[in-house]
Amino acid sequence: MREILGRRRRLLSQRSDGRPELIGAALTYATEWQWPVLPGVAADPEGRNRCGCPDPECTVPGAHPFDPGLLAATTDGRMVRWWWSNRPTAPIVLATGGKAPCAVSLPALPAARALEALDRSGLRLGPVVASPSRWAILVKPYSMEQLGELLYAKDFVPGSLRFHGEGGYLALPPSETGQGEIRWERAPLPGSASPWVPDVEAVVDAVVEALTRTGVSAPEF
Protein backbone atom coordinates (compact mmCIF):
# COMPACT_ATOMS: atom_id res chain seq x y z
CA MET A 1 0.00 0.00 0.00
CA ARG A 2 2.85 2.41 0.80
CA GLU A 3 4.28 1.96 -2.72
CA ILE A 4 0.89 2.59 -4.37
CA LEU A 5 0.30 5.73 -2.33
CA GLY A 6 3.81 6.95 -3.11
CA ARG A 7 3.21 6.63 -6.84
CA ARG A 8 -0.10 8.44 -6.53
CA ARG A 9 1.53 11.29 -4.63
CA ARG A 10 4.24 11.72 -7.28
CA LEU A 11 1.73 11.67 -10.12
CA LEU A 12 -0.74 14.04 -8.48
CA SER A 13 1.55 16.13 -6.28
CA GLN A 14 0.87 19.84 -6.20
CA ARG A 15 2.94 23.00 -6.14
CA SER A 16 2.47 25.67 -3.52
CA ASP A 17 0.04 27.49 -5.83
CA GLY A 18 -2.19 24.42 -5.99
CA ARG A 19 -1.28 23.41 -9.56
CA PRO A 20 0.05 19.91 -10.29
CA GLU A 21 3.79 19.41 -9.99
CA LEU A 22 5.13 18.60 -13.46
CA ILE A 23 8.40 17.09 -12.29
CA GLY A 24 6.58 14.47 -10.22
CA ALA A 25 4.42 13.42 -13.15
CA ALA A 26 7.39 13.37 -15.52
CA LEU A 27 9.35 11.12 -13.14
CA THR A 28 6.40 8.74 -12.82
CA TYR A 29 6.06 8.42 -16.59
CA ALA A 30 9.78 7.94 -17.15
CA THR A 31 11.05 5.88 -14.24
CA GLU A 32 8.00 3.87 -13.19
CA TRP A 33 6.11 3.43 -16.45
CA GLN A 34 9.22 3.48 -18.68
CA TRP A 35 7.68 6.01 -21.07
CA PRO A 36 10.39 8.18 -22.70
CA VAL A 37 9.62 11.85 -22.14
CA LEU A 38 11.23 15.23 -22.72
CA PRO A 39 10.26 18.87 -22.07
CA GLY A 40 8.19 20.55 -24.75
CA VAL A 41 8.66 24.07 -26.04
CA ALA A 42 6.80 26.62 -23.95
CA ALA A 43 3.96 28.73 -25.25
CA ASP A 44 4.83 32.31 -26.15
CA PRO A 45 4.59 34.34 -22.90
CA GLU A 46 3.24 37.28 -24.89
CA GLY A 47 0.40 35.22 -26.34
CA ARG A 48 -0.64 31.88 -24.87
CA ASN A 49 -2.20 30.73 -28.13
CA ARG A 50 1.15 31.17 -29.90
CA CYS A 51 4.18 28.92 -29.68
CA GLY A 52 7.62 29.79 -28.34
CA CYS A 53 9.24 28.07 -31.33
CA PRO A 54 10.38 30.02 -34.43
CA ASP A 55 7.43 28.85 -36.55
CA PRO A 56 4.77 31.61 -36.59
CA GLU A 57 2.26 29.14 -38.05
CA CYS A 58 2.85 26.40 -35.46
CA THR A 59 -0.30 24.25 -35.20
CA VAL A 60 0.48 22.72 -31.79
CA PRO A 61 1.72 25.72 -29.76
CA GLY A 62 3.67 24.70 -26.68
CA ALA A 63 2.86 21.02 -27.21
CA HIS A 64 5.85 19.71 -29.15
CA PRO A 65 9.60 19.13 -28.75
CA PHE A 66 12.02 21.80 -29.92
CA ASP A 67 15.16 22.07 -27.80
CA PRO A 68 15.99 19.31 -27.04
CA GLY A 69 14.64 17.44 -30.05
CA LEU A 70 12.45 14.35 -29.95
CA LEU A 71 15.41 11.95 -30.10
CA ALA A 72 16.47 13.16 -26.64
CA ALA A 73 13.41 11.57 -24.99
CA THR A 74 14.50 9.35 -22.12
CA THR A 75 13.45 7.24 -19.14
CA ASP A 76 16.54 8.31 -17.17
CA GLY A 77 15.30 9.82 -13.93
CA ARG A 78 18.41 11.97 -13.46
CA MET A 79 17.96 13.61 -16.85
CA VAL A 80 14.24 14.12 -16.29
CA ARG A 81 14.87 15.69 -12.89
CA TRP A 82 17.51 18.01 -14.36
CA TRP A 83 15.23 19.13 -17.19
CA TRP A 84 12.26 20.02 -14.99
CA SER A 85 14.39 21.47 -12.23
CA ASN A 86 15.60 23.98 -14.81
CA ARG A 87 12.31 24.28 -16.73
CA PRO A 88 9.62 23.62 -14.09
CA THR A 89 6.69 24.74 -16.25
CA ALA A 90 7.73 22.93 -19.46
CA PRO A 91 5.03 20.66 -20.94
CA ILE A 92 5.68 16.93 -20.66
CA VAL A 93 6.01 15.36 -24.11
CA LEU A 94 5.81 11.61 -24.66
CA ALA A 95 7.82 10.11 -27.53
CA THR A 96 5.29 7.63 -28.89
CA GLY A 97 6.16 4.21 -30.31
CA GLY A 98 8.95 1.78 -29.56
CA LYS A 99 8.14 0.42 -26.11
CA ALA A 100 5.95 3.41 -25.27
CA PRO A 101 2.23 3.68 -26.08
CA CYS A 102 1.05 5.11 -29.37
CA ALA A 103 -2.20 7.05 -29.69
CA VAL A 104 -5.22 7.69 -31.91
CA SER A 105 -6.64 11.20 -31.61
CA LEU A 106 -9.71 13.02 -32.89
CA PRO A 107 -11.54 16.30 -32.23
CA ALA A 108 -12.96 16.66 -28.73
CA LEU A 109 -16.71 16.73 -29.45
CA PRO A 110 -16.86 13.63 -31.67
CA ALA A 111 -14.34 11.97 -29.33
CA ALA A 112 -16.68 12.40 -26.36
CA ARG A 113 -19.58 10.91 -28.30
CA ALA A 114 -17.41 8.11 -29.67
CA LEU A 115 -16.25 7.18 -26.16
CA GLU A 116 -19.87 6.99 -25.01
CA ALA A 117 -20.61 4.62 -27.89
CA LEU A 118 -17.51 2.55 -27.10
CA ASP A 119 -18.58 2.25 -23.46
CA ARG A 120 -22.01 1.02 -24.53
CA SER A 121 -20.37 -1.56 -26.79
CA GLY A 122 -18.32 -2.90 -23.90
CA LEU A 123 -14.91 -2.15 -25.41
CA ARG A 124 -12.25 -1.83 -22.74
CA LEU A 125 -10.27 1.40 -23.06
CA GLY A 126 -7.07 2.48 -21.37
CA PRO A 127 -6.04 6.06 -20.56
CA VAL A 128 -7.42 8.91 -22.67
CA VAL A 129 -5.56 12.25 -22.85
CA ALA A 130 -7.64 15.37 -23.45
CA SER A 131 -6.86 18.90 -24.58
CA PRO A 132 -9.57 21.51 -25.21
CA SER A 133 -9.55 20.67 -28.92
CA ARG A 134 -8.58 16.98 -29.23
CA TRP A 135 -8.70 13.74 -27.27
CA ALA A 136 -6.12 10.97 -27.69
CA ILE A 137 -6.79 7.29 -26.91
CA LEU A 138 -3.57 5.53 -25.89
CA VAL A 139 -2.95 2.21 -27.65
CA LYS A 140 -0.24 -0.45 -27.84
CA PRO A 141 2.76 0.33 -30.05
CA TYR A 142 2.20 -0.37 -33.74
CA SER A 143 4.28 -0.22 -36.91
CA MET A 144 3.54 1.95 -39.93
CA GLU A 145 3.03 -1.24 -41.97
CA GLN A 146 0.47 -2.47 -39.46
CA LEU A 147 -1.35 0.86 -39.52
CA GLY A 148 -1.28 1.02 -43.32
CA GLU A 149 -2.84 -2.43 -43.66
CA LEU A 150 -5.49 -1.54 -41.10
CA LEU A 151 -6.53 1.66 -42.85
CA TYR A 152 -6.36 0.14 -46.34
CA ALA A 153 -8.91 -2.48 -45.34
CA LYS A 154 -11.49 0.17 -44.43
CA ASP A 155 -14.06 1.67 -46.79
CA PHE A 156 -14.03 4.95 -44.86
CA VAL A 157 -11.72 6.56 -42.30
CA PRO A 158 -12.57 10.03 -40.93
CA GLY A 159 -9.95 12.51 -42.11
CA SER A 160 -9.85 14.06 -38.63
CA LEU A 161 -8.28 10.96 -37.10
CA ARG A 162 -4.59 11.39 -36.31
CA PHE A 163 -2.14 8.65 -35.51
CA HIS A 164 0.74 9.18 -33.09
CA GLY A 165 3.05 6.27 -33.83
CA GLU A 166 6.79 5.63 -34.08
CA GLY A 167 8.58 8.97 -34.32
CA GLY A 168 5.52 10.86 -33.05
CA TYR A 169 4.77 12.67 -29.82
CA LEU A 170 1.95 13.63 -27.49
CA ALA A 171 1.70 16.14 -24.64
CA LEU A 172 0.79 14.50 -21.32
CA PRO A 173 -1.02 15.77 -18.20
CA PRO A 174 -0.70 17.98 -16.29
CA SER A 175 0.93 20.15 -18.98
CA GLU A 176 -0.20 23.64 -19.94
CA THR A 177 0.19 24.40 -23.63
CA GLY A 178 -0.87 27.09 -26.05
CA GLN A 179 -3.99 25.00 -26.65
CA GLY A 180 -4.85 24.99 -22.97
CA GLU A 181 -4.65 22.43 -20.18
CA ILE A 182 -3.76 18.82 -20.93
CA ARG A 183 -5.70 16.49 -18.63
CA TRP A 184 -6.80 12.88 -18.23
CA GLU A 185 -10.28 12.21 -19.61
CA ARG A 186 -9.73 8.60 -18.54
CA ALA A 187 -6.97 8.50 -15.96
CA PRO A 188 -4.63 5.53 -15.42
CA LEU A 189 -5.42 3.50 -12.33
CA PRO A 190 -3.45 4.83 -9.35
CA GLY A 191 -0.48 2.70 -8.48
CA SER A 192 -0.46 0.74 -11.71
CA ALA A 193 2.98 -0.13 -13.07
CA SER A 194 2.61 0.73 -16.76
CA PRO A 195 -1.05 1.35 -17.61
CA TRP A 196 -2.82 -1.22 -19.77
CA VAL A 197 -3.69 -0.01 -23.29
CA PRO A 198 -5.72 -1.72 -26.06
CA ASP A 199 -4.62 -2.78 -29.53
CA VAL A 200 -4.82 -0.12 -32.24
CA GLU A 201 -7.04 -2.37 -34.39
CA ALA A 202 -9.76 -2.52 -31.74
CA VAL A 203 -9.71 1.23 -31.20
CA VAL A 204 -9.73 2.24 -34.88
CA ASP A 205 -12.47 -0.28 -35.72
CA ALA A 206 -14.62 0.88 -32.82
CA VAL A 207 -14.03 4.62 -33.35
CA VAL A 208 -14.82 4.49 -37.07
CA GLU A 209 -17.94 2.43 -36.39
CA ALA A 210 -19.04 4.72 -33.56
CA LEU A 211 -18.56 7.87 -35.62
CA THR A 212 -20.40 6.34 -38.56
CA ARG A 213 -23.24 4.84 -36.53
CA THR A 214 -23.90 7.97 -34.43
CA GLY A 215 -23.68 10.25 -37.45
CA VAL A 216 -21.12 12.42 -35.68
CA SER A 217 -19.51 14.99 -37.92
CA ALA A 218 -15.76 14.93 -37.32
CA PRO A 219 -14.33 18.13 -38.83
CA GLU A 220 -10.98 18.10 -40.61
CA PHE A 221 -8.66 19.54 -37.96
| pLDDT tens-digit map of 3-33 | 333 444 344 444 444 345 899 999 999 999 9
53-69 burial, b at 16+ Cβ within 10 Å, e below that, comes to beeeebebbbbbbbeee
Over residues 104-124, the pLDDT tens digits come to: 999 998 899 889 888 988 989
pLDDT tens-digit map of 60-97 = 877 888 888 899 999 999 999 999 999 999 999 999 99
pTM for this model (two decimals): 0.85
- Read off the DSSP letter of residue 71: G
pLDDT tens per residue across span 194-205: 899 999 999 998
Whether the CA torsion 42, 45, 47, 52 is positive or negative: it is negative
